[in-house]
Structure 1
Amino acid sequence: MNIEAFLSNNAHVSIRLNVDKDTITQITMIFQKIREYPWHDHPLLSWNICPILPSGPDLDFDVLQPEQYVMSITSLLSENHLPEGVEFDLSAGRQLISMLEKGYPSPVHPRHPSFCGSHQGTIVFDPYGDIYSCHEAVRDSRFIIGSLSKAAHADDIANIEQSHWSPDQDEACSDCAYVLICGGGCVHRNCSNNADVKSLLCRWVEASVKLALLGLSGAIPYRKHTGWM
């Protein structure tokens, strides 16, 4: 497999599992399948869970251990008082509060200074076996750099030019309270020359976060931790 080829070339491989409220129950089965491969405990291999919100983006709570995540989200989704249609958003919001309370340095998986991961020289496999150099380029065929079906190896992508942009270098992003969620990377790359589109995407992120935090009035005030609202 190509995963074995990359690991044999001392390349770090990260398996990201995107899940929503309809697929959360399948995670345990996926973990069991991964553990069947001889490389499942390789020191250069990591794998994590990323909850995807109904509105589109993910909040990256993969700093939690897989088993903890499964138990927490499954429990939250079973609560009868969660409004219909936004169960996963509310669960994600509660996870965010819980993590901040526990002292996690950031509610997002470390992809800094560039949210898309390109500064780390990472590669991303999509569900169809296509290979990308950036987390945020997945599903855009213009950015495909290889394919599992073509037996791509680490050496094939060693010289791909990577971006080293940081949201701290963008005035609008550096002053934005939501940059910990969106990271700024994809917005900057796609819309840096179109202020109207960039502003629209920023408002979309803000609305998504507010939706995720609905129903948390009984929790410890999140503004105490983040100052977002």
Structure 2
Amino acid sequence: MRSSSYNIVVKVDDKDGRYALLNSYTHAFDIVNQNVYQYLKTQDEKCGISEETKEKLIKRGYITSLSEEDERELVKRFLNKIYDEIRLKNFGFHFIISYDCNLRCVYCYEDPILNGCACLPKNRITKEQVDKAYEIIIEKDKDRTGIKVIHLYGGEPFLAENYEMLEYIVQKGKDLGYVFSVTSNGYDLDKYLDFLRENSKIFSFQITIDGVEDIHNERKPHYKNKDSFTRIASNVDSLLKIGIPISIRINTDPCTMERIDELLVYFRERGWFQYKNFKPYCALLRKEVPTVNKKGNFPKEMFTQSEFYRTFCEKELGGKSEERFVCQDLDVQSVLNGLLLGKSVNHKSCFCGAQTGSIIFDPLGDIYSCWDVVGQREHRVGRYIPNFILENEFADKWFNSRVSEHKCVNCKYVFFCGGGCLANAFRVTGKVQSGECNDYPRLFKYGMQQIYNKKIQRGIDEN
């Protein structure tokens, strides 16, 4: 017998010598003392734990009779089984209306195809292309139960000049029972208010506001008048009053985080927190951008994922907003809360839907599976004009991406991170494959400490 290679152990209480103990494939989650920790580490009988405790450690998977190789093979089979159950089974559908945008965000990952050296045509998707896409959606989605969602993307999908095509897409989808999730910069939404009011029940929006007004306008200027903050904020007001759910994304780096309290005050003064359909969240800005504050240049190193989350927690931003203001943490808190409450939590066999069944229809007749690489034809997975076809040479990179075939199979975090973001791996390594961790282990360990401090220690102290 030996300790499982997939145990995650984090010291959460220095004073009382307590450790959070989690097995990633059995999903057992416990708080243990120093004696149990030492026993798991050394298997020394002198650690002074009872036979009953030993039996519990075995039953919950912390102690195993499998060799390291056999346990790794067990994990590999489990990962493949999970992946096969979801791969190309449950599709997600997206329309790119055009490769055109009215803002010039300094960190835009689409900039080369929107305005740069690889600039694509600005023509909008056609009605004939939309009709063909809906034929595919109907066929692929025929067995779906529950809410049916189509995502609208760009460029900027809600450009004023896209009105007629958006109306066509939405009406066709509405007739088929779909609702629409939108990623928009929010600038031209005032041109659509009557349309959105008539269809408020079938829309939800993500709109980006990158910090207080001067930071936002520096990073997300309109291509003509530079100032985009005032108009976007006004349009958010209008959509909240209509009742449309609005998620405000704040792309965050150290400069933004330093003044995040000012933005929180602005949201409150604007009255946005009074709306139940308002939800702001911080997301990590991954590309370094030139930043300026009142004192001039403000160079700072970028956050790692764990530093970003730790800083958000230390500033107690959730508590300052009745937990309405949240931080992107790759679902760590959701997973740990679920395990703590004994809920069923899915094991991950991939990072996201780009590896299982995301279908993005673009205006050039190509299909992509990942938002981060749209327009880069070497990353397309197929075409839908004149007919739907997945091109194996390209599609297998995304739709047959098995984390079990990479070094991740040896990692104790694999069932929670799913091998990491493939697009991020490509940016870092030049390869579309799992294994780019993006600071996930430190993020997860900090998340375990947070769960203990907020929810577990209180119960222990009260008892």
Q: If the length of structure 2 is used for normalisation, what is the TM-score?
A: 0.27
Larger radius of gyration: 2
TM-score (norm 1): 0.46
